[in-house]
Amino acid sequence: MNVARIAIFASGTGSNALNLIYHFDKNDAIEVALLLSNKADALVVDLARNEGIRTEVLPNSAFVDGQEVLDLLHSLDIQWIILAGFLRKVPSNVIRAFDKKIINIHPSLLPNFGGSGMYGMYVHQAVIDAKASESGITIHYVNEVFDEGEHIAQFVTTVTPEDTPETLAIKIQHLEHDHFPAIIAATIQS
Ligand code: GRF
């Protein structure tokens, strides 16, 4: 069987990265071969190491030029990149080399509440401020324009008048954990 070797890029607490690691541990067709971060002190780095995942940290400067990232990915025979809370822009040469092989998850229903500065609680605060009646997640391919790659799937949750950014964040995280692994698997295996 052909095993798809994936790299997860993450900068934060890593709840999605960990969820993916657990999920693909039970999937013989997909192997998490690398966790790459730009932050040595990010919780996700510890979590991945504890799970025995090869973990590398490169400085922010490496994500400007991209060559070191590309060399690392090629040396590990990585075929797919999954962005799970990765807060740097993916270098252009990496995007070109991994055309339609980079998948991101965004915590809103794009094109709403996306773009520069829209991450984490900023997204949920903006949704609440706009009095939106629904929000959700968007799983999409990554191209050179932030948050504008082709959509793969969206999942919706209701926003009630009682919701705060914090309660909405919990609803969104449940959607992410429930759907992201299966959508990645279906995309890779299609
Ligand atoms: C998630 O909300 C994801 O949609 C966004 O970054 C967040 C990462 O959360 N891209 P975690 O670090 O996986 O908990």
pLDDT tens by residue, 2-18: 899 999 999 999 999 99
106 catalytic? Reply is yes
- 163 falls in which pLDDT band (50, 70, 90)? very high
Confidence of residue 45 (pLDDT cuts 50, 70, 90): very high
pTM: 0.96
Structure-derived torsion over alpha carbons of residues 136, 31, 6, 148, reported in degrees to the nearest 10: -20
CA of residue 172 to ligand 1 center, whole Å: 9
- Name the residue with the closest Cα to ligand 1, atom 1: 85
Cα(84) to centroid(ligand 1), Å: 6
Burial zone of 87 (CB within 10 Å; 0-12 exposed, 13-18 middle, 19+ buried)? middle
Bridge partner list, 157: 135
Residue range 13-40: mean pLDDT, rounded: 97
Identify the band that residue 61 occupies on the pLDDT scale cut at 50, 70 and 90. very high
- At residue 116, the pLDDT reads 86
Q: Is the pLDDT of residue 73 over 80?
A: yes
Q: At what angle do helices 120-129 and 165-189 cross, to 10 degrees?
A: 120
The CA distances from residue 50 to 16, 20, 24, 46, 59, in Å, are 15, 14, 16, 6, 21
CA of 190 to the centre of ligand 1 (A): 25
Q: Ligand 1 pocket by C-beta < 6 Å: which residues?
A: 12-17, 84-85, 105-107, 176
181 has a pLDDT exceeding 80: yes
Beta strands in the chain (DSSP E): 4-9, 30-37, 55-57, 80-83, 102-106, 134-141, 151-158
Structure tokens at 10: 């993450």
Backbone angles phi, psi at 159, to 5 degrees: -110, 120
Mean pLDDT of 102-106: 97
Asked if 109 contacts 136 with a C-beta cutoff of 8 angstroms, the reply is yes
- How much is the pLDDT for 148? 86
Closest C-alpha to ligand 1, atom 2: 107
Q: Does the bond joining 91 to the residue before it have cis omega, within 30 degrees of 0?
A: no
